[in-house]
């Protein structure tokens, strides 16, 4: 009869200091704010590298990513693994919010417009003529907020990519296993 706790069994990982994990996450996420993105796009030569096939090299040279990689250099592997999980969850949530916003800001107005044109076309046409400045302003505001959601999604994916790069550079691979592709 074999012992279920044989020497080949892997012990459970040690608990991670939650305060340290969340502190590391906040420090990482704070490097990728919307304001920093706008500054980077406007004033950084590395931003122009997104127009080629090798976007990883350019990502590594952006100020936010370079700072994040320096921060992650001393991060213990188990915390880095947890940060990768947090970055993935954060990226999925941002993507879901982007999709929800795009669906809501585009679909609802168009549905109302098309339903109105089907049910009362003259009323809708008069409303569009009389309310053109307000509608244009509303369209500009919706476009602005869609761009904000999109930018947040972009940055969330950058955080995820930087954590993955840190793991790859340590030889951990994408799934945390040494040498994995």
User: Is there a domain that residue 29 lies in?
Assistant: yes
Say which residue the tokens 């400045």 belong to. Answer: 133
- Tell me, yes or no, whether 13 lies in a domain: no
Element (H, E) at 37: helix 34-43
Q: Determine the average pLDDT of the residues in 83-93.
A: 96
Convert the pLDDT of each residue in 12-31 to its tens digit: 666 778 888 999 999 999 99
Residue 82, domain extent: 19-169
Q: Give the pLDDT band of residue 40 (cuts 50, 70, 90).
A: confident
**Cβ of 93: how many Cβ atoms within 10 Å?**
13
Per-residue pLDDT of 141-150, as tens digits, reads 999 999 999 9
Domain-embedded: residue 6: no
pLDDT at 6: 53
Is residue 50 in some structural domain? Answer: yes
Contact in structure between 87 and 163 (CB atoms under 8 Å): yes
Asked which of 28-32, 47-51, 66-70, 106-110 is least confident by mean pLDDT, the reply is 47-51
pLDDT band at 181 (very low <50, low <70, confident <90, very high): very low
User: Which pLDDT belongs to residue 94?
Assistant: 95
Averaged confidence pLDDT in the chain? 84
Task: State how far the Cα of 174 lies from the Cα of 141, in Å rounded to an integer.
Answer: 39
Q: How many structural domains does the chain have?
A: 1
Asked if residue 7 is part of any domain, the answer here is no
Is residue 153 within 8 A of residue 99, CB to CB? The reply is: no
4 in a structural domain: no
**What local confidence, expressed as pLDDT, does residue 176 receive?**
47
Residue 180 lies inside a defined structural domain of this protein: no
First to last CA, the chain: 38
């Amino acid at each position: 009869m074999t012992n279920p706790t044989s020497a080949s069994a892997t012990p459970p990982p040690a608990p991670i200091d939650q305060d340290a994990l969340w502190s590391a996450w906040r420090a990482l996420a704070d490097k990728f704010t919307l304001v920093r993105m706008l500054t980077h796009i406007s004033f950084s030569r590395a931003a122009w590298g997104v127009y080629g096939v090798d976007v990883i090299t350019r990502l590594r040279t952006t100020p936010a990513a370079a700072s994040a990689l320096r921060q992650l250099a001393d991060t213990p592997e188990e915390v880095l693994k947890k940060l990768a999980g947090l970055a993935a969850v954060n990226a999925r949530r941002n993507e879901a919010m982007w999709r929800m916003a795009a669906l809501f800001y585009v679909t609802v107005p168009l549905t109302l417009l098309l339903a109105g044109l089907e049910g009362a076309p003259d009323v809708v046409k008069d409303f569009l003529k009389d309310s053109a400045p307000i509608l244009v302003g509303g369209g500009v505001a919706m476009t602005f907020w869609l761009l904000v959601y999109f930018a947040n999604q972009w940055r969330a994916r950058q955080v995820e990519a930087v954590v993955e790069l840190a793991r790859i550079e340590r030889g951990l691979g994408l799934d945390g296993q040494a040498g994995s592709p």
